[in-house]
Amino acid sequence: MRLKDRRAIVTGAASGIGRASAQLFAEQGARVLAVDRPGTDLDGTKGNRESIVTHPADITAKGAPQAIVAAAVKAFGGLDILFNNAGVSGRAFVEEMTEEEWDRVNGVNVRAQFLLAREAIPHLKSSPAPRIINTASVMAEATDFGLAAYCASKAGVAGLTRTLALELGKFGITANYIEPGAIQTGMTAKNFADPTIAGVWAKKSPLRRLGQPIDIARGALFLASDDGGFVTGHGLRVDGGLMLRC
């Protein structure tokens, strides 16, 4: 029970890393507000767990960050952990990328993280073990063709998180980001359904496999729990060693 009585928000909780994290946090004793877009399978995340409360919302919608934090505080009486995990990807060469595409990716991946953190901070200040965890990506450090918006957003997450750590340390709030490698989730399902592509990415890791959502959830649990209490401003690669040869 590494998160006994902790109160958490997890975004992107209907699928992949967010679902695994919401369930692992709940298993470890936390109460979790599981947030994802309306129409997504939040019920599948909840199952029969009373400690998971579902909250369908588009985190980029006006007023959504305020409503999400208010819902957690109302349901649980406070907030200890904000796990900003929801994210989107997309591929377009810079020459052909529309402003809408740039804004869509950056709106979810970094702007909404900033707004949710801003709303959460006043409540985190009164938590005994306050944590902000933001999902970035190894693409915060690397790149690939067509990933300008995604890479910029994830490098933005790193910069945002380091600054949060600096500004909030005096309140005992830690802020860290996770850099997943190649993980089998909804985001990568189409690519990794092709065994050749999945095989290439698996072999890039010294561990010779793709990551699973639970691999990242365990990293998030470390940062959320007392074990991570003196870690702040850190980017935790959970990539099976993918980046060693980059």
Which residues carry out catalysis? Answer: 150
Minimum separation from the CB atom of position 128 to ligand NAD (A): 28
* CB atoms closer than 10 angstroms to residue 196: 7
| R_g over Cα of the chain | 17
Binding residues among 62-121 for ligand NAD as defined by CB under 6 A: 85-88, 108
Find the part of the chain contacting ligand NAD (CB under 6 A) among 14-22, 74-82, 125-133, 165-173: 14-22
Rounded-to-integer distance, Cα 103 and Cα 217, Å: 27
Alpha-carbon distance 19 to 42, whole Å?
8
Least separation in angstroms between residue 97's CB and ligand NAD is: 17
Q: Residue 169 and residue 171: Cα distance in Å, rounded?
A: 5
Q: Between residues 51 and 113, which has the closer beta carbon with respect to ligand NAD?
A: 113
Q: Which is nearer to ligand NAD, 15 or 232 (CB)?
A: 15
Q: How far apart are the first and last CA of the chain?
A: 37
What are residue 205's phi and psi, to 5 degrees?
A: -85, 135
Q: Which x/- pattern over 141-180 shows residues binding ligand NAD (rule: CB under 6 A)?
A: ---------------------------------------x
Judged by CB under 6 A, the residue of 59, 124, 221, 236 near ligand NAD is 59
Q: If binding is defined by CB under 6 A, does position 16 make contact with ligand NAD?
A: yes
Q: How many residues bind ligand NAD (CB under 6 A)?
A: 27
Euclidean distance between CA atoms 213 and 232, whole angstroms? 23
To ligand NAD, the closest distance from the beta carbon of 125 in angstroms equals 25
For ligand NAD, the closer of residues 75 and 142 by Cβ is 142
CB of 39 to ligand NAD, least distance (A): 9
Number of residues assigned to the chain: 246
Tokens 């919302």 belong to which residue? Answer: 57
By CB under 6 A, tell whether 183 contacts ligand NAD: yes
Residues 168 and 151: their CA atoms lie apart, in Å, by 25
- Residues in a beta bridge with 10: 34, 83
Q: Which residue number, 32 or 183, has a Cβ lying nearer to ligand NAD?
A: 183
With 0-12 / 13-18 / 19 or more C-beta atoms within 10 angstroms meaning exposed / middle / buried, residue 218 is: middle
Distance CA 25, CA 126 (A): 20
Q: CB under 6 A: which stretch of 10-18, 23-31, 74-82, 116-124 binds ligand NAD?
A: 10-18
Report if residue 186 touches ligand NAD, rule: CB under 6 A.
yes
Q: What would the two tokens of residue 41 be? A: 């399978």
Name the residues that contact ligand NAD, by CB under 6 A.
Answer: 11-12, 14-18, 36-37, 40, 58-60, 85-88, 108, 135, 137, 180, 182-183, 185-188
